[in-house]
Amino acid sequence: ARRLAYTPEEDLAILEYLTRSQHERGGNVVYHQMEAKKVTRHSWQSMRHRYLNTLQSLSEAEVTQLRKVSTARGQLSSRVSCG
């Protein structure tokens, strides 16, 4: 199986979901929920790894840049509800 690269939209979807979530980001529960809701096309383990090793250390400016890239591509995710 070939690994799927994360898109800016997927990175943003993870960040937005976690911002709205009340669960601990270092645990597993929230990532299982994200996988069940298909926030991205990646497994819960992959999303957890992506957040803990890449996304949590992004500056506000880098997150703003992600939003700009995502919006420019016209694919801002609508799959990010926590309900």
Cβ atoms of 28 and 36 within 8 Å: the answer is no
Give the pLDDT confidence score for residue 82 in this predicted structure. Answer: 53
Closest CA to 10 of 80, 83, 81: 80
Ranges 1-10, 15-24, 74-83: which has the least confidence: 74-83
- Structure confidence by residue, pLDDT tens digits, 5-15: 999 999 999 99
Query: Does the pLDDT at position 31 exceed 60?
Result: yes
Give the pLDDT confidence score for residue 1 in this predicted structure. Answer: 65
Q: How much of the chain, in percent, has pLDDT values that exceed 70?
A: 88
